[in-house]
Structure 1
Amino acid sequence: MIADASNNAAFCAKLEEALLDDLRTTSIQGVNSRISLALQDADGSLRAGLSGTTSYGWLRVTMLWVSADHRRSGVGSQLMHDAIELSLERGCHAAWLETSNPQARAFYEDLGFEAFAELANDAGAMPESHTRWFLRRNLMSSQLGESP
């Protein structure tokens, strides 16, 4: 029986573990691990964070968030820098991410990312004019914003 596991947080972890175990039997891959970085206040309140994974030599940034009162302070750039440094230590050569926020796209492009694909809603599809951009960056240069 197929069940809806949308609200089961443990399901995604189990599914990922099963997939990765299967992939390891058929493919040589680099270190597959998580990167989770957080900026918290003394009281434990989250102010910014980054989540990503590394595998096959790639860093995938899945989430980057900075609270409104910490934006434009360099925190987002520092989180990206730290994630890149960790991924380089794990043997990564490149990074990729996706965003549908035009301001976020500009932020990533300022860090040396380039768009390699996009998904745009067709005319009449809701929300209208929604686009998701996919960006990548060579990591052989560890300086953010510096061309590889």
Structure 2
Amino acid sequence: MQIEIARPKQEGVEDAISALLAQNSRETGFVYAPQPVVLKINDEGQTVAGLVGHTNWEWLYIETLAVDPKLRGKGWGRKLVAEAERIAIERQCRGAWVDTFSFQSPDFYKRLGYLPFGELADYPTGQKRVFLRKVFTVPVTP
């Protein structure tokens, strides 16, 4: 046995590793079964904004959110996050989390009610990777 460098998304390695993780999680009582959340906004057949993430273990993880520079500041990012949160709540999630960078969008997420819970300094050098979460409020039924 030896360590080899694999070609991303070409040899099925990611699926095999995910299967190993899922098996281990089942054995510990926490089934790893992420459900994708993939949203897009098209303009004339071209994707101009979107969100990629997944729900698992009652949480939404927002992996990637991107909006074409020409569309920024017009509410599309907010709408994408709101739709992802709606889907997460529908899937019985308790909250959402995201990681971003100090030079990108921590203030955007803070405006949406996300609170920082950690950071990784000097990633990249002179900047921070910022981790934020939002706990969904559960409506009280009489």
Q: Same fold (TM over 0.5)?
A: yes
Q: 1:16 & 1:49 partners in 2: Cα distance?
A: 24
TM-score, with structure 1 as normaliser: 0.81
1:134 is aligned to 2:131? yes
Q: 2:80 & 2:93 partners in 1: Cα distance?
A: 17
Q: 1:70 & 1:127 partners in 2: Cα distance?
A: 26
Percent sequence identity over matched residues? 30
Q: 1:23 & 1:47 partners in 2: Cα distance?
A: 36
Change (3 A) 1:29 1:19: closer
Q: What residue is the counterpart of 2:114 in the other structure?
A: 113
Q: 2:33 & 2:22 partners in 1: Cα distance?
A: 11
Q: 1:132 & 1:138 partners in 2: Cα distance?
A: 20
1:54 is aligned to 2:60? no
Q: Where does 1:1-148 land on structure 2 (aligned, <5 Å)? A: 1-5=2-6, 7-9=7-9, 10-29=12-31, 32-43=34-45, 45-121=46-122, 127-140=124-137
Over the residues paired in the alignment, what is the CA RMSD in angstroms? 2.1
Q: Is the 8 A contact 1:30 1:57 kept in 2?
A: no
Change (3 A) 1:116 1:104: same
Pick 1 or 2: higher relative contact order, CA cutoff 8 A, min separation 6.
1
11-20 vs 46-55, which deviates more? 11-20
Structure 1 runs of 4+ with >3 Å offset? 28-31
Q: 1:73 & 1:37 partners in 2: Cα distance?
A: 17
Give the paired residue count. Answer: 136
Q: Is the 8 A contact 1:31 1:90 kept in 2?
A: no
CA apart distance, 1:127? 4.5
Q: Is the 8 A contact 1:94 1:136 kept in 2?
A: yes
CA apart distance, 1:46? 1.3
Could you tell me which amino acid in structure 1 is paired with residue 3 of structure 2?
I
Unaligned runs of 5+ in 2: none
Q: 2:88 & 2:19 partners in 1: Cα distance?
A: 20
TM-score, with structure 2 as normaliser: 0.85
